[in-house]
């Protein structure tokens, strides 16, 4: 199941500069998702992280994994975000960063559902560039009502 950016935006409340998924290239509902983030020098964080040696912050790689996980959860449950609310991080375990992600890289995010129990979802996530592992983590999230502002 391929999703272009317009479809991705229907399942994520994030917008520029925090929308970190450009395309979904594969998805098996209830199991896995593979998504793409094209990393460009225009990203606002590169001006300060780090000048002269730009590197994508690890926390944003984890956030990109979480955004892919949210799409997978919404699609698996066959609900849209406006039907229930927002997916919030509940935990991150075993995060490891193997190589820096730089402008021009294509970040391939592979997220799998481990389980869902009492509204808490657990996932494993991998981020790759050029077929090589750059980051991995176990993520936990929960679907909650949107806060009233």
Arithmetic mean of pLDDT, 93-101: 98
Q: What is the per-residue pLDDT across 9-34, written as a single tens digit (0 to 9) for each?
A: 999 989 999 999 999 999 999 999 99
- Catalytic member of 14, 23, 49, 77: 49
Number of domains comprising the chain: 1
In a domain, 59, yes or no: yes
**CATH classification of the domain holding 86:** 3.10.129.10
In a domain, 82, yes or no: yes
Chain mean pLDDT for the chain? 94
Looking up tokens 């820096």, which residue turns up? 100
Domain that holds residue 87: 5-144
Partners of 71 in beta bridges: none
Model confidence pTM above 0.75:
yes
In a domain, 92, yes or no: yes
Q: Is 49 annotated in the active site? A: yes
In a domain, 149, yes or no: no
Contact 23, 8 (CB under 8 A): yes
pLDDT of 59: 97
pLDDT of 98: 98
In a domain, 86, yes or no: yes
């Amino acid at each position: 199941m391929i999703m272009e950016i317009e479809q991705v935006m229907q399942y994520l409340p994030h917008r520029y500069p925090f929308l970190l998924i450009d395309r979904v290239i594969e998805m098996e509902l209830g199991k896995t998702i593979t998504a793409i983030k094209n990393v460009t020098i225009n990203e606002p964080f590169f001006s300060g992280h780090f000048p002269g040696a730009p590197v994508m912050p690890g926390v944003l790689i984890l956030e990109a994994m979480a955004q892919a996980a949210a799409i997978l959860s919404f699609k698996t449950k066959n609900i849209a975000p406006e039907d229930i609310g927002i997916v919030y991080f509940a935990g991150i375990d075993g995060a490891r960063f193997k190589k820096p992600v730089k402008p021009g890289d294509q970040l391939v995010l592979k997220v799998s559902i481990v389980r869902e129990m009492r509204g808490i979802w657990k996932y494993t996530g991998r981020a790759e560039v050029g077929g090589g592992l750059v980051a991995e983590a176990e993520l936990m999230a929960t679907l909650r009502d949107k806060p009233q502002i």
